[in-house]
A and B are shown apart, each in its own frame.
Chain A
Amino acid sequence: MACWIMGKTMDAQIFDMDNIDVAWCPGCGNFPILMILKKALAELEVEPANLVLVSGIGQAAKIPHYFKTNVFNGLHGRALPPATAIKAANPALAVIAQSGDGDMYGEGGNHFLHTIRRNPDITNIVHNNMVYGLTKGQASPTSQMGFRTPVQVNGVFLEPFNPLAVAIALNAGFVARAFAGDSEQTKEILKKAIKHKGYALVDIFQPCPSFNKLNTYQWFKEHTYYLEDSHDQYDRNEAFKRATETEKLSLGIFYINPDKKTFEENIGTYQENQQPLYERKPDIGKLRNLIETFKIAD
């Protein structure tokens, strides 16, 4: 199995599924993201049995089915709550919540806000193609102004949702944006996000060749650039400023706050006892003592 890629022992093929019928269109940005994520996980030596991919519904949300690992493919918009709970129930698991822009920022918008506040140690990967693919081409929360669709017949007039600015406003621990067309840079961003202790957002620009004729590979190439090496990732105000640029969209790690306690640390469940919840049983002696207090005895 082992081949030596970049000095690592794990091969990305360990995550490959046999005989799968992939539901994505030719040229879909999901293909490179799938490949890049497998490589990132292999380089970090994350064991498939120790990883849980959680997703919602949509074309991006099918990604766990093309991955040999533990999978929780839940409801549309609802990847983050179960991902939070899975990590809390067993902190030894690596947990990635992954879906598209419609799922995470539209249907699941409230969970997006509050998961950032909660700060579980999970990675949140959002495939952002600025359009609804599975339902055939309606506007998404990140669609650009003027984007015409069979529903938004006069063009989108809602202010596009800015996930990075929102995450930085909420003081998220790790906020980054990547582009599916840049495999090496995206892989490095993903590795840092996965290694980050706490909630990490990676919004990945990807083209949708079937339903978004505006934001193509070419468009993303022309409208993005990488943050300079001199960008201070620990400066929240600067990060917010860069996240709200509109002329050209920057890529890279915008913001890191390394000092936040995670949800699993804050709940205190693992302070004295490292056992995951499935190994625990209630202390019936303690329960008896508790019930004893209801006697209101002298």
Chain B
Amino acid sequence: MDTDLSFQKNNDLSIVLCGQAGQGIQTVEYLLTRIFKLAGYNVFATKEYMSRIRGGTNSTEIRVSSEFVGASVNRIDILIPLDRGAVGHVEKRISPQTIILAEKETIADDFDQTRHKFIDVPFAKTASDIGNKIYSNVVAVGTIAGLFGVEWQTISKYVKQYFSAKPEDVVQSNITAAKEGFTLATGLINSSEIKIDIRNDTKVKGQILLSGAEAVALGAIAGGCNFISSYPMSPSTGVLVFLAGKAKDFGIITEQAEDEIAAINMAVGAWYAGARAMVTTSGGGFALMIEGLSLAGMLESPIVIHLAQRPGPATGLPTRTEQADLELALYAGHGEFPRIILAPGKIEDGFYLTQRAFNLADKYQVPVFILTDQYFVDSCYNTDFLDLSNINVEKHVVKTEVDYERYKLTANGISPRGIPGFGRGLVVVDSDEHDQAGHITEDLGLRTKMVDKRLRKFELLKKEVIQPELIGSGSYKNLVVCWGSTYNIVKEAVKNLGRDDIAALHFKQVYPLPGETMEYLQRAEKTIIVENNATAQFARLIRLNTGIDIENRILKYNGLSFSVEELTEELNGMLDHG
């Protein structure tokens, strides 16, 4: 049996761990990504899981590479099934090249062993010998890291650090488990059962390993966020959890509201009193926030909304991914008012865009969305240390005088924003149509002026738009258009095609749409939209703004992100092969 992976193309291996919820797969992912990073490998990880606390079948994919990797692949080079049913769960991704490392007894006759490259590794038996089957996952960590040639010192140090809050005997048992796993790996290597040889990358050491949720949360801190009110909802909760953990260090008021309605009304109230507030939510929760969004539109209140998309309608698939709430974010809220929608592609975009969102919201007194999805928030990879040199918390609050009026009619539509208790003036805001002082009015002439004033800000927003990024050849004939979390998947797929007549155009600001969009599209002979939804919502927005119809569509809406291979194949099928 050929189990030599040393000449794997691109020095890039995909490991998939699969098992029940509660078996500690998350722990394995967490430990392995960090151990690989410490050992100087490029690493990417993403997960797909069922909406339950115990049982079911979940899987985590970890790519380990000598070069940067930032996207999910379909291919499985090494599969580690931790229970029965795991192999079936990922069956379609298993190829004749896939090596399955598993304990025969655990997975029993779950698959036809003659059809697969199978290596029997006694994870559970080893764990039981140490004292508890629960250590199986850490045995696996030791084995996998060992197979990649990671030094024992690196592994033991990190395992020790990870469990450091636990009682001493637990720490010791986990270290023993990792060590036994490591010894199993040494045995497999020595008996030439498996050989893995991936170069590490000196760049990785100085880099950071960051998930999408962490990037957004750190961006919020950098943006001066000091108030977050939200209601837990997958997949948006990670941001709330992260900020709650740092609340004391950074002086962030973190409140779990009774519902999303309270959450957004709190956030608007907090901005009114001078805080920099955000909410984090997902589709159904955001639906409850919509009246509050409209309130922000009327009060001309800044607000930052992290909307992590998952498939709907209604409860949909709670733990899966989709890009189907673009139009929801775009059109949510009764009445007409300006807004900004940002959609990070690279993990680090999550940081820079969220940081920027707070300044934009404060400057223009508008809602700013950070539109992510489950795939984005739950994925992580190594990236350059975040650049803090240009981080400025731009505050646009004025000290008020006695004659202060909150809604002064101004040429550019922005009325200087005062807050109560700062200056001698009074700050009056009203969800009713209001006069310049902020008090309720039914003067219909004034109503028109106030609408015009609010909408004038939209013209300013257009001037501060982030341009799309062109990936690939500037002299393209074929242009692949994408937005948000698909960035790295599209980038790798386009690279795989190996053609110089194709490029990708990625938007991390989707609204207002950048002015150069039309020019980019007009230069292409063929345009293809790639979206993780069923109706090509972004293509519709582009047509609305440019009149250009992107006819070629690659859409996916089964709840999973694209894989690099399937996108490569779909793109290939759409291109001319003259």
Q: Which of A252-277 contact B (CB under 8 A)?
A: 267-269, 273, 276-277
| CB <8 Å contact, A70 and B210 | no
Is B184 positioned at the interface, with any CB of A under 8 Å from its CB? Answer: no
Q: Given the complex of chains A and B, what is the CA–CA distance between A284 and B251 in angstroms?
A: 13
Q: Which of B231-267 contact A (CB under 8 A)?
A: 246-255, 257-259, 261-263, 265-267
Q: Given the complex of chains A and B, what is the CA–CA distance between A52 and B209 in angstroms?
A: 45
On whether A284 and B266 interact (CB within 8 A), knowing A75-B292, A90-B420, the answer reads: no
Q: Within the complex, what minimum Cβ distance (angstroms) separates B298 from chain A?
A: 9
Which one of B262, B270, B427, B438 contacts A89 once the chains associate, using CB atoms below 8 Å? Answer: B270
On whether A82 and B269 interact (CB within 8 A), knowing A73-B432, A74-B295, the answer reads: yes
On whether A49 and B222 interact (CB within 8 A), knowing A89-B274, A291-B385, the answer reads: no
| CB <8 Å contact, A49 and B429 | no
Q: Given the complex of chains A and B, what is the CA–CA distance between A89 and B388 in angstroms?
A: 26
Is A159 positioned at the interface, with any CB of B under 8 Å from its CB? Answer: no
**Closest chain B residue to A283, Cβ basis:** B250
> Which chain A residues have a beta carbon within 8 Å of chain B's beta carbons?
48-50, 52, 54, 57, 62, 64-65, 68-75, 78, 80-90, 92-93, 110-111, 113-114, 118, 267-269, 273, 276-284, 286-288, 290-291, 294-298
Residue with the highest number of chain B CB atoms closer than 10 Å, among A68, A82, A273, A291: A82
Which one of A72, A111, A282, A295 contacts B224 once the chains associate, using CB atoms below 8 Å? Answer: A282
Is B422 positioned at the interface, with any CB of A under 8 Å from its CB? Answer: yes
Q: Given the complex of chains A and B, what is the CA–CA distance between A282 and B246 in angstroms?
A: 12
On whether A287 and B269 interact (CB within 8 A), knowing A73-B429, A85-B229, the answer reads: no
Give the chain B neighbours of A88 by CB distance below 8 A: 227, 253, 255, 270, 275
| CB <8 Å contact, A73 and B430 | yes
Give the chain B neighbours of A82 by CB distance below 8 A: 265-266, 268-270, 272
Question: Size of chain B's interface in residues, with CB distance under 8 A?
Answer: 76
What 3 A-B pairs have minimum CB-CB distances, sorted nearest first? A82-B269, A278-B274, A85-B269
**Closest chain A residue to B218, Cβ basis:** A291
Residue with the highest number of chain A CB atoms closer than 10 Å, among B34, B259, B263, B419: B419
Q: Which of B126-179 contact A (CB under 8 A)?
A: 157-158
Q: Within the complex, what minimum Cβ distance (angstroms) separates A290 from chain B?
A: 7
Given contacts A89-B270, A280-B251, 17 further A-B contacts (CB under 8 A): A62-B440, A65-B439, A73-B431, A75-B431, A85-B270, A86-B273, A93-B273, A111-B262, A267-B254, A267-B255, A268-B247, A282-B225, A284-B391, A286-B250, A294-B210, A295-B205, A298-B38
Which one of A48, A110, A295 contacts B208 once the chains associate, using CB atoms below 8 Å? Answer: A295
Give the chain B neighbours of A284 by CB distance below 8 A: 222, 388, 391
Give the chain B neighbours of A113 by CB distance below 8 A: 258
| CB <8 Å contact, A294 and B249 | no
Which one of A49, A50, A57, A298 contacts B425 once the chains associate, using CB atoms below 8 Å? Answer: A49
| CB <8 Å contact, B265 and A74 | yes
Give the chain B neighbours of A93 by CB distance below 8 A: 273, 420-421
**Closest chain B residue to A50, Cβ basis:** B421
Is B88 positioned at the interface, with any CB of A under 8 Å from its CB? Answer: no
Residue with the highest number of chain A CB atoms closer than 10 Å, among B38, B248, B251, B426: B251
Q: Which of B263-302 contact A (CB under 8 A)?
A: 263, 265-270, 272-277, 291-292, 295, 299
Q: List 7 A-B pairs, Cβ < 8 Å.
A: A65-B430, A85-B275, A89-B270, A93-B420, A113-B258, A276-B273, A282-B250
Give the chain A neighbours of B393 by CB distance below 8 A: 281-282
| CB <8 Å contact, B431 and A74 | yes
On whether A291 and B440 interact (CB within 8 A), knowing A68-B426, A74-B265, A110-B262, the answer reads: no
Q: Mark B412-449, 1 if CB is under 8 A from A, else 0.
A: 00000001111011111111100000111000000000
Q: Given the complex of chains A and B, what is the CA–CA distance between A114 and B229 in angstroms?
A: 14
Is B527 positioned at the interface, with any CB of A under 8 Å from its CB? Answer: no
| CB <8 Å contact, B274 and A276 | yes
On whether A86 and B272 interact (CB within 8 A), knowing A70-B427, A280-B251, A281-B393, the answer reads: yes
| CB <8 Å contact, A90 and B224 | no
**Closest chain B residue to A92, Cβ basis:** B421
Which one of B251, B292, B424 contacts A78 once the chains associate, using CB atoms below 8 Å? Answer: B292
Q: Given the complex of chains A and B, what is the CA–CA distance between A80 and B266 in angstroms?
A: 8
**Closest chain A residue to B223, Cβ basis:** A282
